[in-house]
Amino acid sequence: MKYTFESNTLEIIWNGLNETPKRTNQFVTEKLYLKFLERGWVLEYEIEDIFYHLDRGVYSIFLERKSMDEIYKGFEIDFETIYDKPKATDSSVMGYNSISIKNFVFLLIQLEKIGFSTNPIFLVEKLLPALKQKKYLSKSELEIFWYNKTRLKNETIFLSIENYHGFFLNPKKLKTELGFKINVEFDEENKPVYFEIVAPKFRKKTFTYPTTCEECDYTWQKGDPSSSASHRRVHKRAMNWLNPQPLERIKELDKINKDYILVTADSPKWQHFEMYERAYAFKKEFRYDFVQYQSREGHNDENIHGYLFINENDSIIGACCFRKNELEWGLDWIWICPIQRRKNHLANKWKMFKELYGNFYVEPPVSDEMKSFIKKHDSLLL
């Protein structure tokens, strides 16, 4: 993050950072904070009181009104006029220049990021529960929402004069009480023109790059923890159908048939879940818009018959679904895991399907491979 300030403001910031830290009067500050929270606003003159008790360096900046106004502007903090609530008979009210409590906390956070001991934790903890319930957050609310996870870890902040081009000399270093490392450059008049402020717990982001998993075909940003975690979830799910393992539930079934399980409206939920997962695999492989199975939980439609294909190891290697319209049955979809294809799993059941569902249609679009399969196996049944 980069901020541009006048040379005089940078000098005041530098002098403030070199002040001996003032120990916070916690009782006084918390008493003021509770008043701010109740009101929802912080009056301009009250900010001076808080800075006096929080950090002597920030208080010295406040004494220079022009510099403080520049900091407000740089951090995009807007003041508003608030008014005493009038009584019904009042014709005039008193106005006060103020900032909202959330913008005030945002100011404390920004000042902490450039090295001052403003410690906004008390106010953050008071405001956070309500923010967690909101659907949308403002800029200042986002800073409060993230504060506990990002404190002292923020990215490097740069402060400089407007025409700084990196050719000034006289570097100096400073380490604050909180551990911020500050590198400063000065001009020929020994005035600061450039600050590099490194947070004590800041770590450079790991280089990330797009990677596609050869097994589950998922693309994620390798090196990004969140993206990698997402890949692990997707991968684990996909492996259930791409590399199926024996299921104890299938072993425990009193199976009438060795190589399939008929799934109807009366079947248990876990069988419907396995049907849905294969329908999802079908949708994913062929890039269809929706999953052609109603629910993971099951359905009450007697005109839908699902078949889970199982092998000798009691693993689910594929599935298909028949659906009846007003006139006839149709093969809605079929999906078999790649490592089990061309092993006659469908061919061995084709005669049975014909006997059960008659001259059923196959839901389009139909691949050339499926057309050849139908032509070959229907002719064998004649």
pLDDT, tens digit (0-9, with 9 covering 90-100), for 193-236:
999 999 999 877 667 889 999 999 899 888 888 899 999 999 99
Whether residues 22 and 98 fall in one domain: yes
Query: Max Cα separation, the chain?
Result: 101
Whether residues 227 and 345 fall in one domain: no
pLDDT digits (tens, 9 = 90+) for 267-307: 999 999 999 999 999 999 888 889 999 888 888 899 999 99
| Whether 100 contacts 80, CB under 8 Å | yes
Q: Is residue 310 part of a domain?
A: yes
Q: Is residue 204 part of a domain?
A: no
Residue partners of 76: CB distance under 8 A and separation at least 6: 139
Q: Is residue 249 part of a domain?
A: no
Tokens of 105: 């906390």
CA distance 343 to 345: 6
Whether residues 155 and 9 fall in one domain: yes
Residue partners of 3: CB distance under 8 A and separation at least 6: 74, 75, 157, 158, 159, 160
- Which among 198, 218, 234 is the end of a domain? 198
Q: Is residue 172 part of a domain?
A: yes
Work out the pLDDT band at 382, boundaries 50, 70, 90.
Answer: very low
- Residue 93 pLDDT exceeds 80: yes
Range of the domain at 34: 2-198
Whether residues 148 and 215 fall in one domain: no
CA distance 209 to 222: 5
Whether residues 127 and 81 fall in one domain: yes
Residue 272's CATH number: 3.40.630.30
Our count of domains for the chain comes to 3
Q: Is residue 279 part of a domain?
A: yes
Q: Is residue 232 part of a domain?
A: yes
Report helix, strand or coil for 39. Answer: helix
Q: Is residue 66 part of a domain?
A: yes
Whether residues 168 and 46 fall in one domain: yes
Whether residues 285 and 319 fall in one domain: yes
Whether residues 133 and 221 fall in one domain: no
Whether residues 234 and 295 fall in one domain: no
CA distance 284 to 279: 9
Whether residues 56 and 193 fall in one domain: yes
Work out the pLDDT band at 381, boundaries 50, 70, 90.
Answer: low
Whether residues 265 and 188 fall in one domain: no
CA distance 240 to 238: 5
Whether residues 181 and 300 fall in one domain: no
pLDDT digits (tens, 9 = 90+) for 131-190: 999 999 999 999 999 999 999 999 999 999 988 877 667 889 999 988 999 999 998 888
Q: Is residue 251 part of a domain?
A: no
In whole numbers, what is the pLDDT of the chain averaged over residues?
89
pLDDT value of residue 225: 83
pLDDT digits (tens, 9 = 90+) for 12-25: 999 999 987 666 67
CA distance 218 to 226: 14
